[in-house]
Chain A
Amino acid sequence: MRKTKAERNPSKTVRLLNIVIIIVATAALIIMVKMIGEIRSAFNRDPYSSMEYSLQSGDYADMVRTYYFRSYDVAPFETAYAEEYNIAAYADAAFRHQFFAASGNTEMAQRFEARMQKARDGCGSLQVSADDVDRLLEAIELYP
């Protein structure tokens, strides 16, 4: 079908609108790609990757915080950071075992002792870090 005169010679307004459409469509496409990336990232976070840095700097308390903050996120033993997860679990259990034992709460102390043992068994190649935690706790002067 032959184009009309108007179609062959679009007005300045139409040309301007065409350019605006291209710009806005490009921006929308970029935003859409970003949105898809953010959604995928939100549902596929690896919660334990930050633990590696904390472990290297010997910040076991930070590992414990991540452990509690994300422990329901994914089954930790399915991640690549199962050993780091166990170190965090061990550090928390050991501290709380020490606290409950010192404050005379034997039931809770025994419960956390069992958690310590379970976490220790999962530390794998990071046993030296578990020993480090023990050393830090032994150095604490407890008050009666």
Chain B
Amino acid sequence: MKCRYCGGEVGLEQKYCPYCGKANDQAVQHFSDMASFRGRYADTEAEVIRRSERYARIIPRTVIIVLLLVAAAAMYIISENAYGFPELMRKKVAERNPDATMATLEGYLEEGDYVSFASYISYNGIRTYGTAFDRYKHVYWCSEYYKDTVMRMEKLFLHTDREDWIKYSASDDIRMLCQSLEYFLENYERGYNDPDTEGYDRYLDDMKTRSLQLFNVYLGIDESEIDDFLAMTDNRKAAFIEEVILDAKNES
């Protein structure tokens, strides 16, 4: 640029004109601006460094805390559901080997061992809806309630502490026995003649016959009397069955 006094060439950083020696006003302004800029730059730089150092400590720690919380939550959920893992694994194995599983199930049905059939499906967590085992859906539910009926009937007779049983749990056991039969009959009606499970109706019939025979053989309730018996109140049912049990106790 040119000196405004003599017109000579003078640089921005020359405070005085080298020709006339006058002060270079623009240089003065330039140096003042640069000083101010450097000061602000230094302040900003210090602030950025300070904040960066602060966040450099806070952000990783925050991330660590979040990760630890997520890991703790995941482990808690896993521990709460751990008892389901063996069944989940068995279910996967059964679903990956449908032919072998079905062969086992068909074997139980052919033998008429509906209790083992139901137990096997429950134990392996096999789903009978929307899977390769869809054909067993009605047979399974009927067999579950049939199994329950058998076991609850066993409960009435296969224990030695009869007084305690009558006092504390007889009415519940009797109510659940009758409920098992009711649920069985409901599922039987629902499943019988379903075209999706054609070919398995004979097993439903077999289980129905045996369920009703259980009530006949052990409680003297004929098939024609079942509906009336199930229509009784829980108290009357309990009284009826307790009388049968007590008669058996007196005999022993």
Contact = CB atoms under 8 A, between A and B. Distances in A.
Interface in B55-77: 57-58, 61-62, 64-65, 68-69, 71-72, 75-76
Q: How many interface residues does chain A have, given as a range? A: 35 or more
A42 B213 contact: no
B201 to A, nearest CB: 19
A95 B219 contact: no
A28 B53 contact: no
Nearest to B68: A24
A42 B159 CA distance: 30
A95 B159 CA distance: 12
Interface stretch (B26-34, B79-87, B227-235): B79-87
Interface in A13-51: 13-14, 17-18, 20-21, 24-25, 27-28, 31-32, 34-35, 37-39, 41-43
Interface residues of B, number: 56
A136 interface: yes
Given A6-B53, A31-B75, A140 B61 contact: no
A141 interface: yes
Contacts of A140: 157, 218, 248
Contacts of A142: 217-218
Contact of A21 (B68, B86, B214, B249): B68
Q: Output the residue of B158, B210, B217 with the most chain A CB within 10 A.
A: B158
B129 interface: no
Contact of A141 (B62, B122, B213, B247): B247
Nearest to A27: B72
Given A24-B72, A69-B119, A42 B64 contact: no
3 closest residue pairs by CB, A with B:
A58-B160, A139-B252, A38-B82
Interface of B: 50, 53-54, 57-58, 61-62, 64-65, 68-69, 71-72, 75-76, 78-80, 82-86, 111-112, 115-116, 119-120, 122-124, 147, 150-151, 154-155, 157-161, 210, 213-214, 216-220, 244, 247-249, 251-252
Interface of A: 4, 6, 10-11, 13-14, 17-18, 20-21, 24-25, 27-28, 31-32, 34-35, 37-39, 41-43, 57-62, 64-65, 68-69, 71-73, 91-92, 95-96, 99, 102-103, 108, 111, 132-133, 135-143
15 contacts: A14-B54, A24-B68, A32-B75, A35-B76, A38-B82, A42-B83, A61-B155, A64-B151, A68-B115, A72-B120, A92-B154, A96-B150, A102-B217, A103-B217, A139-B251
